[in-house]
Amino acid sequence: MNSYSSGQAADKTGFSIDTLRYYERIGLLDPVGRSASGQRRFNDDDLNWLHLLRCLRDTEMPLTDMLRFAELCRRGEESIPDRISLLEVHHERVGRQIERLRERWSEIQQEIGSYRSRL
């Protein structure tokens, strides 16, 4: 398995090093392995998890829901139905957000058209 420094993990995931430390401190990220000198060493599993967290954060999942999801994942297979429920609620919320953005996008297009017609 590959090993990544905090800086490399930050580069690969788009999170700052401070955010990685914060996520580990609050339990959103499992404790990260350490090198012999005590430096954090992320592995491929850590990066895969961080990529999922990036998706959830970018789609504006509340931190409390992200923490709940992490807790459910740690519980193992029996928590899959609860994970599905949590993700379905988020999926619906993202769908509504996309619809609102599409409506606003159309309004902006119309405004652009209105200005262009004056040229």
Q: What is the pLDDT of residues 2-38, one digit of tens each?
A: 999 999 999 999 999 999 999 999 999 999 999 999 8
Q: Where in the chain is the domain with CATH 1.10.1660.10?
A: 1-58
Share of the chain above pLDDT 70, in %: 100
As a whole number of angstroms, the distance between CA 56 and CA 62 comes to 8
pLDDT over 90 at 110, yes or no: yes
As a whole number of angstroms, the distance between CA 26 and CA 24 comes to 6
Whether residue 3 contacts residue 43, with contact meaning beta carbons closer than 8 Å, is answered with: yes
* Mean pLDDT, rounded, of the chain: 96
Whether residue 3 contacts residue 42, with contact meaning beta carbons closer than 8 Å, is answered with: yes
Number of helices and strands in the chain (H, E): 5, 3
Q: Nearest Cα to 28, choosing from 19, 36, 37?
A: 19
Q: Does domain 1-58 have CATH number 1.10.1660.10?
A: yes
pLDDT over 90 at 1, yes or no: no
Q: What is the pLDDT of residues 83-98, one digit of tens each?
A: 999 999 999 999 999 9
Question: Beta strands 33-34 and 40-43: pairing type?
Answer: antiparallel
